[in-house]
Amino acid sequence: MALPPTLPPPVSTSGAGYYEATLGDGRAQVPGVVNPQTLLRGTGDPAVIDPKRAADAEALFPTFDADGELIGSRPPGYGATPDKAAFLLWHSAHRMAWLNEHGSATTANDGVGDVTFRHGTIGTAPDALSNLHVLLTQDSKRIVVLNHLQPADIAKLPLDDQRALVLHPAYSEVVAARFDLRPAGGETVAEARKAAQDLVQAARTNVTDGLGGDAAAQLTEFLNDPGKRAQLWQQAFVAQYDLMLDALNSMAVFDLDRISQDLGALSERFIRLERFFNLPAEGTRGTMPTDVNAVNGPSGIIAGRDTLVRIELQLYDLARLSREVAQTQVFEGKRLDTPGLTFVLQTFANYRNEAQAEAKTEELNQRNLLLQDYTRMQKIVNAALAKFDASKLSDPNAREQKTVDLSSPETRRTVAMFDKGLSGSAVHPMEAAVGLDRPVSRLVTDPGNTGVAHYKEEFDRFAIALSEGARQLGQDNQILMGEIAQLNRIKNRHYDIATNVLNKMTTILRSIIN
């Protein structure tokens, strides 16, 4: 292993030590000596790693590849048919050397183009899963063991390595079949990618077809004019579908079930927000309001709608930034090293979880406000039930009928919200979210000046329907609270992981310095 380069001894040409104090370009006056400040990140082109720094790193930590240096002698059992368990314990340099000597170099077409890759198999069992299958990464720096791959591992592989993986003779049985991944069964990468793109494109079309006007022009305006984004909020979802389509071009292995889940979550958020924009305007009939969705007026629903719009715009920005940083490794003009990249992406994930938790919290608030209106109506019905004379309930000839209270503006709005005729087409966004049909009864006469008289059993049935509706809303509240708690736990976990990354990096740097 080569030793790090040796710097020349200190030389002073002007009494300032190594370097001329007034030198503006940061370079040493002594030939061959480099000012260490020029090697710090951020002092040069953020997209270029300083050659001096790269050379020193290679000298200290040389990269082993299939043609590189072996550590000591070859391990016991090294040969054409090594033991599978022993092979996994070999140093990576030994494994790459074995693959270079005993593996196969293959060129095949994946439907996108030709790929040349080196691979090997240890074992001759008829069942592919009983053998050990390995692949050399396209940069010749690492061995991939197909038997150990999980979907998350595959997602981390560069595109070139994913393409080579798909062409490995054991891929279909050892990888695709285990996790129901595509390509599968002789399918090409191009065909599998088209299937994934079709899923995303179908979801995108469902949104754009309902917008009206020139959807492409609206998307351009959304992307170029931040001031109009709230007005064009639907385009935040269209742009996220486009980010997904772009990401598919960087993949060669696809989990269509996972893609469908992600599309379903995005579609669910779009529908949730769309409900807030599809509320009918309130009106009047006689002395009563119509199409009421909230006893205290629509302002609370509108505030919730605006909150959700702001959150969706934030989620789009986070998705866009995550994609850009993953592609360029540059954030705010600075090239990120591995700990920095990890920290930034985990911070984005944390913000994303916070935004989703805030959206669910707003949804919870909206449901609680709706529950309060259900409770108001239950109190009005209970007050009507209290008017009945208990001594006459058993006498069929003395049956009574009573009406609900309409004496105050609040009671009139509450009754109108649950009246069969006055509620009209009103559906609260949270009722739609849980699939709840609002319980209604004919409580007010047409044109809406007086209450409709009902027997006690009629009020009893209506009270039961209101209780069942409130129970359904309350039950879903518990589910939402659990989802919010889970998102907060994930957020805290991301902070812990990011902190550990930086702490470990600091420890490594201190050990090197020492």
Q: Specify whether the CB–CB gap between 189 and 252 falls below 8 A.
A: yes
Q: 18: helix, coil or strand?
A: coil
**Angle of helix 256-277 relative to helix 234-248, nearest 10 degrees?**
170
Which tens digits make up the pLDDT trace of 297-345? 999 999 999 999 999 999 999 999 999 998 899 998 889 888 788 888 8
Q: Kindly report whether the peptide bond that precedes residue 447 is cis, defined as omega within 30 degrees of 0.
A: yes
Q: Kindly report whether the peptide bond that precedes residue 339 is cis, defined as omega within 30 degrees of 0.
A: no
The H or E element containing residue 220 is: helix 215-224
Q: What span, in angstroms and rounded, lies between the C-alpha atoms of 33 and 13?
A: 13
Which tens digits make up the pLDDT trace of 82-132? 999 999 999 888 898 899 889 999 999 999 999 999 999 999 999 999 999
- Degrees, nearest 5: CA angle 42-43-49: 70
On the question of pLDDT at 17 being above 70, the answer is no
Which tens digits make up the pLDDT trace of 480-495? 888 888 887 777 776 7
Q: In the prediction, which pLDDT does 359 show?
A: 93
At residue 10, what are phi and psi to the nearest 5 degrees? -60, 135
Which tens digits make up the pLDDT trace of 410-460? 999 999 999 999 998 889 999 999 899 999 999 999 876 789 999 999 999
Which tens digits make up the pLDDT trace of 190-205? 999 999 999 999 999 9
| 138-155: average pLDDT | 93
* Residue 51 pLDDT level (bands cut at 50, 70, 90): confident
- Torsional sign, CA 124, 129, 131, 132: positive
Which residue is associated with the tokens 């969705």? 293
Q: In the prediction, which pLDDT does 349 show?
A: 87
Q: In the prediction, which pLDDT does 4 show?
A: 41
DSSP labels, 386-398: TTS-GGGTT-GGG
Which tens digits make up the pLDDT trace of 186-244? 899 999 999 999 999 999 999 999 887 788 999 999 999 999 999 999 999 999 999 99
On the question of pLDDT at 7 being above 60, the answer is no
* Residue 271 pLDDT level (bands cut at 50, 70, 90): very high
Q: In the prediction, which pLDDT does 155 show?
A: 93
Q: What span, in angstroms and rounded, lies between the C-alpha atoms of 429 and 431?
A: 5
Q: In the prediction, which pLDDT does 486 show?
A: 83
Residues 6+ apart with CB under 8 A from 95: 87, 134, 143
**Distances, alpha carbon 186 to alpha carbons 111, 166, 286, 467, in Å:** 11, 10, 70, 57
Q: In the prediction, which pLDDT does 58 show?
A: 65
Q: What span, in angstroms and rounded, lies between the C-alpha atoms of 154 and 131?
A: 20
Q: What span, in angstroms and rounded, lies between the C-alpha atoms of 46 and 41?
A: 7
Q: In the prediction, which pLDDT does 22 show?
A: 38
Q: In the prediction, which pLDDT does 92 show?
A: 84
Long-range contacts of 506-511 (CB under 8 A, 24+ apart): none
SS3 content of the chain, % helix, strand, coil (to 5): 55, 10, 35
Q: What span, in angstroms and rounded, lies between the C-alpha atoms of 19 and 12?
A: 7
Q: Among the ranges 66-75, 359-368, 500-509, which has the highest mean pLDDT value?
A: 359-368
The H or E element containing residue 135 is: strand 132-136
Q: In the prediction, which pLDDT does 287 show?
A: 85
DSSP annotation of 500? H
DSSP annotation of 38? G
Bridge pairing between strands 283-285 and 288-290: antiparallel
At residue 482, what are phi and psi to the nearest 5 degrees? -65, -40
* Residue 49 pLDDT level (bands cut at 50, 70, 90): low
Q: 381: helix, coil or strand?
A: helix
Tell me whether residue 160 is exposed, middle or buried, using C-beta atoms within 10 angstroms of its C-beta: 0 to 12, 13 to 18, 19 or more: middle
Q: What span, in angstroms and rounded, lies between the C-alpha atoms of 410 and 286?
A: 16
Q: In the prediction, which pLDDT does 53 show?
A: 73
Which tens digits make up the pLDDT trace of 150-176? 999 999 999 999 999 999 999 999 999
Q: 116: helix, coil or strand?
A: strand
